[in-house]
Amino acid sequence: SQQGEEDPQALSIQEGENATMNCSYKTSINNLQWYRQNSGRGLVHLILIRSNEREKHSGRLRVTLDTSKKSSSLLITASRAADTASYFCATDSGGYQKVTFGTGTKLQVIP
Amino acid sequence: DAGVIQSPRHEVTEMGQEVTLRCKPISGHDYLFWYRQTMMRGLELLIYFNNNVPIDDSGMPEDRFSAKMPNASFSTLKIQPSEPRDSAVYFCASSSTLAGGWQFFGPGTRLTVL
């Protein structure tokens, strides 16, 4: 079963615009991670936010976490064509190392 | 470091045949994960190991699937006999307790069972 559900399922934007993806989950977590998957490739870790953190930044990425709403958002600012990929949230589900991946948001950035 | 290495990258086989997928995790990582990704079911965790010991195999779909990790640098996922519904991309990932806990994925093996 999947813990996280991403929204929207697909997103198409123009280069330079910001992209926002949301993740909702069902049970309490210790941390939440975001991963990127380029077509035909393995997933690449982007950022990890712990349950006691509300916001985290990494370059053009900004992640927020609202544990009361059991939701997280990933914001990519000033998007580039190279950001075109699928983005997944992942939540730990008991064991610290074991995570459950969401359904993913497919982002297309049009040059 | 070369990252997580998987072989083969592509495998086409006929129903009923045995399939063995291989994975070399990143040196020093103490966790290894096997995932399956399909359009219908998304990314599913099949099994994971800690220090070469299987911790949770609840995601292994059937007895046809088995996984081993004989040492810290090698793991296999075997399907015997294979069926068309096993067609998917299989990923291996590794992580380290001491290095943040996020997972490093291999490039995947695309399996097609005819």
The secondary structure of chain A, three-state, reads: CCCCEEECCEEEEECCCCEEEEEECCCCCCEEEEEEECCCCCEEEEEEEECCCCEEEECCEEEEEECCCCEEEEEECCCCHHHCEEEEEEEEECEEEEEEECCCEEEEEEC
- In this complex, the residue of B33, B55, B100 whose CB is nearest that of residue A48 is B100
Distance from CA of B46 to the nearest CA of A (A): 11
Does residue B111 have a pLDDT over 90?
Answer: yes
Chain B residues touching A95 at Cβ < 8 A: 55-56
Tokens describing residue A86 = 């699928």
* pLDDT tens readout for residues A37-70: 999 899 999 999 999 999 999 999 999 999 999 9
| Mean of per-residue pLDDT scores for chain A | 92
The mean pLDDT of B99-107, rounded to a whole number, is 88
| pLDDT grade for B100, boundaries at 50, 70 and 90 | confident
Please indicate whether, in this complex, the C-beta atoms of B107 and A42 are within 8 angstroms of each other: yes
Mutation target among A33, A41, A98 for the B interface, most CBs of B within 10 A: A98
* Residue A95, pLDDT score: 59
pLDDT for A1 equals: 45
pLDDT of residue B87 exceeding 80: yes
Cα of A107 to nearest chain B Cα, Å: 16
Q: Which amino acid is at A109?
A: V
- Average pLDDT (B7-16) is 97
Provide the β-strand partners of residue B68: B76
In this complex, the residue of B42, B97, B108 whose CB is nearest that of residue A97 is B97
Nearest by CB to residue B107, choosing from A41, A101, A104, is A41
Read off the pLDDT of each residue in B73-101 and give the average, rounded to a whole number.
93
Which pLDDT score is estimated for A91? Answer: 92
More confident call, B89 vs A40: B89
Give yes or no for residue A3 having a pLDDT over 70.
no
Query: Residue B107 has what pLDDT?
Result: 96
pLDDT recorded at residue A93: 66
